[in-house]
Amino acid sequence: MTNNKNIIEMNNVGIRYGQGPEILSDIKLSLPQGSFYFLTGQSGAGKTSLLSLMYLAQKPSRGQISVFDHNLNFTNRDQLASLRRRIGVVFQDFRLLEHLSAYDNVALPLRVGGMDEREIKKRVTELLTWVELDSHMFDKASTLSGGEKQRVAIARAVINRPDLLLADEPTGNVDNIIAGKLMKLFVELNKLGTTVVIATHSDKIINDFKYPRLHLQNRGLHIYYPSDTSMFGGLNV
């Protein structure tokens, strides 16, 4: 499952908002390339904050983060953009551009990367057909149902064949059949080398897919392995 290269490394990372208390403290984490983790924890435990650090949407209040071997303290804005192109993100609230069509939403990461429109058309059509949204390809995102939006959000996250895929409750709004199909997509991507982190509350998914679990509790990060019921508080993976 893993090799020696780490996609993300966090050392003594803490995060706080404004003058408030730290939400996450002394996080140490190494995500090896090609690994697959579930991210769990109660609501408000800091899952979304940890994910936002991973997809480079915010800086930690303290500590160091390296993504794809780039120390974020020494990374300029253009380099950050290039790193973000290697990361796919699925948000709990989808965060689609509502005034754009499903097609344009999925095409977004390819367009910002400067890909040729013909290649974009080929890839986007193929992927939207795969997630069974070919008949809604040109519908505005604002007119889609929750489940359809979820699939568009997932298609947008994977269209770029990212090195790291982060998903916040990606199966929360779809039925079991679609959920199974999406999980299969994540597993397939993982087999192709993508590192996957999925934040979920679903015991069924965690039990069905035997992957290790990053668990947030008491502002710290703990790791569970599927065959192991013991807890490894704050240990490197």
Partner 1 sequence: MSNTSYISRKQELPLKSENTSLFLQIIISIAVFIFAITLSGVLSIDSMISNWNKSILGSITVQIIPVNNTNKEKALAETMAYQEKAVEFLKSVNGVTKVTPLSDEQLDELLSPWLGDDVDISDLPTPRIIDVKISPDANIDFAQLSMDLAQASPQATLDSHKLWLNKLISFADGINLIASTVLLLVAAITSGAIFYTTQMSLGLHHNIIEILHIVGAKDAYIAQQYTKRMGFLGFLGGVIGLFFAVPAIFFIGNLALKIEGGIISDASLGFGDWTIILSLPFFAMFISMLTAYYTVKQTLKKML
Please report, as ranges, the residues that interact with partner 1 according to CB under 8 A.
Answer: 55-59, 77-78, 80-82, 84-87, 89, 95, 97, 99-101, 103-104, 107-109, 111-113, 117, 121, 124, 137-138, 156, 160
Handedness of CA 81, 83, 87, 91 (dihedral sign): negative
Q: Smaller CB distance to partner 1: residue 137 or 237?
A: 137
Three-state DSSP state, 200: coil
Least distance (Å) from partner 1 to the CB of residue 198?
17
Distance CA 227, CA 209 (A): 12
Q: Smaller CB distance to partner 1: residue 197 or 223?
A: 197
Least distance (Å) from partner 1 to the CB of residue 152?
13
Residues 138-154, buried b or exposed e (16+ Cβ, 10 A)? eebbeebeebbbbbbbb
Q: Smaller CB distance to partner 1: residue 158 or 178?
A: 158
Least distance (Å) from partner 1 to the CB of residue 67?
13
Q: Smaller CB distance to partner 1: residue 42 or 58?
A: 58
Report which of 176, 231, 237 is spatially closest to residue 208, judged by C-alpha positions. 176
Q: Is 205 left (phi over 0), alpha (psi -120 to 50) or beta?
A: alpha
Least distance (Å) from partner 1 to the CB of residue 200?
20
Rounded to the nearest 10 degrees, how much is the dihedral formed by the CA atoms of 181, 150, 186, 197?
A: -140
Handedness of CA 157, 214, 220, 203 (dihedral sign): positive
Q: Smaller CB distance to partner 1: residue 121 or 201?
A: 121
**Amino acid making up residue 181:** K
Handedness of CA 162, 16, 96, 221 (dihedral sign): positive
Q: Smaller CB distance to partner 1: residue 78 or 203?
A: 78
Q: Smaller CB distance to partner 1: residue 47 or 156?
A: 156
Contact of 158 with 184, CB cutoff 8 Å = no
